[in-house]
Amino acid sequence: MSVLSGKNILLGISAGIAAYKTATLVRAFIKAGANVKVVMTPASKDFVTPLTLSTLSKNPVHSTFTNDDDDNAMWNNHVELGLWADYFVIAPATANTLSKMANGTCDNLLLATYLSAKCKVYFAPAMDLDMYKHPSSIASFSKLKSFGNIMIPATSGELASGLIGQGRMAEPEDIVDFIEQDIIDGLPLKDKTVLITAGPTYEAIDPVRFIGNHSSGKMGFELAKTAASLGATVILITGPTHQTVNHNLITVVPVTSAQEMYEAAHLHFNNSDIAILSAAVADYKPKNIATQKIKKKESTLTLELEKTKDILASLGQIKTNQFLVGFALETNNELEHAKLKLKKKNLDLIVLNSLNDKGAGFKSDTNKVTLINKEEQETVYKLKSKTEVAADIFNTIIKTIHA
């Protein structure tokens, strides 16, 4: 998963030979999980067809304010297009289009949309090397950047004129990488490492049986995805679960037992800025694990259990500058038990949820939580999706560490 996943990208194409690369660029944005719409200058259709781009983007391609072939057609609303976009990417951006953007000339749909856009705008110049170095082009680059637009620099190489030099539009994959990195650089958890534990642990009885619990891992995985969307590098230590995640900022560390989770958490804790322990770790494990499958001989079976290591408490004892978050799933005296856990385990924040609340707890897609900070201040939230709960938790963490 990319930081562009679920984002709306409006691709503006002007009339340069590099327009042939935009088919690949659309595919790259789609592969990153983005929604893509395309607006073209009329002349750019000489270099790449709207049919190709609409097929790849799965959206109509616009190049004029009205459809001259259809008397009943609605006008193409440049304001609506501009407001739809989370990011506006103009590639290729020719010298002509850049000059018009810099000076507010509005003589086609692309330019009208640019002047209406409220989102961040990226532009990828494409022109011959003498044009790229011309004072008027340099002035356009400078003016557009002063407006807050982001320039994706042209590269050096063989140009359409046969000359070799700077002016070649950045390759589609490099444009996507540039935008992803620029977005990450502006996120609140950039350069932060977040350690998250998720799911249950399984404590072996014999080679085929175990003691476990009903944790699905959904909450922990939503926390990991939220942390990555905020720019953090995430270490996700997860017990056995059907949950999956694919994000270039998330490293998944699979474990099975409480001991394995303990060792993995301690391995990564020192290099973490934030640690959120949402896993449902077994409190007890069989003292002796049978090496062979236990046969059903008697009507009862007695297992001797011993305590597992308390991962959260052990991290609370050794933490230095880490922001440590624990979870408390309670069935009675919820607030009292959560606050005791907060202090006893040296936490900065505890997330309380109760099995008495319908829609909260294991396996469900929703949760109802109360956040309690170090000063024992309580913030109660209504029943929400676990995605929204993860956002609430990180909003609280970010506000606290930046206070």
pLDDT in tens, 187-230: 999 999 999 999 999 999 999 999 998 899 999 999 999 999 99
pLDDT at 129: 87
Identify the CA nearest to 110 among candidates 8, 14, 9.
14
Q: How many CB atoms lie within 10 A of CB 261?
A: 27
Identify the CA nearest to 267 among candidates 244, 235, 310.
235
pLDDT at 14: 97
Domains 8-185 and 193-288+303-401 share a fold: yes
**What are the tens digits of pLDDT across the range 301-337?**
889 999 999 999 999 999 999 999 999 987 788 899 9
* Residues recognised as catalytic: 213
CATH topology of domain 8-185: Rossmann fold (3.40.50)
Identify the CA nearest to 400 among candidates 341, 350, 328.
350
In the predicted model, residues of the chain with pLDDT beneath 50 are: none
Phi, psi of 220 (to 5 degrees): -65, -40
Identify the CA nearest to 324 among candidates 313, 336, 334.
313
The distance in angstroms from the start CA to the end CA of the chain is: 31
Distance CA 26, CA 298 (A): 66
Q: What is the residue extent of each domain of the chain?
A: 8-185, 193-288+303-401
From the options 3.30.450.40, 3.40.190.10, 3.40.50.10300, 3.40.50.150, give the CATH code of 193-288+303-401. 3.40.50.10300
Do 28 and 104 meet the contact criterion of CB atoms below 8 Å apart? no
pLDDT at 3: 86
Q: What angle do CA 168, 177, 189 make, to 5 degrees?
A: 145
- For residue 51, count CB atoms less than 10 angstroms from its CB and return exposed for 0-12, middle for 13-18, buried for 19 or more: exposed
> Which helix or strand (DSSP H or E) is residue 219 part of?
helix 218-229
pLDDT at 74: 57
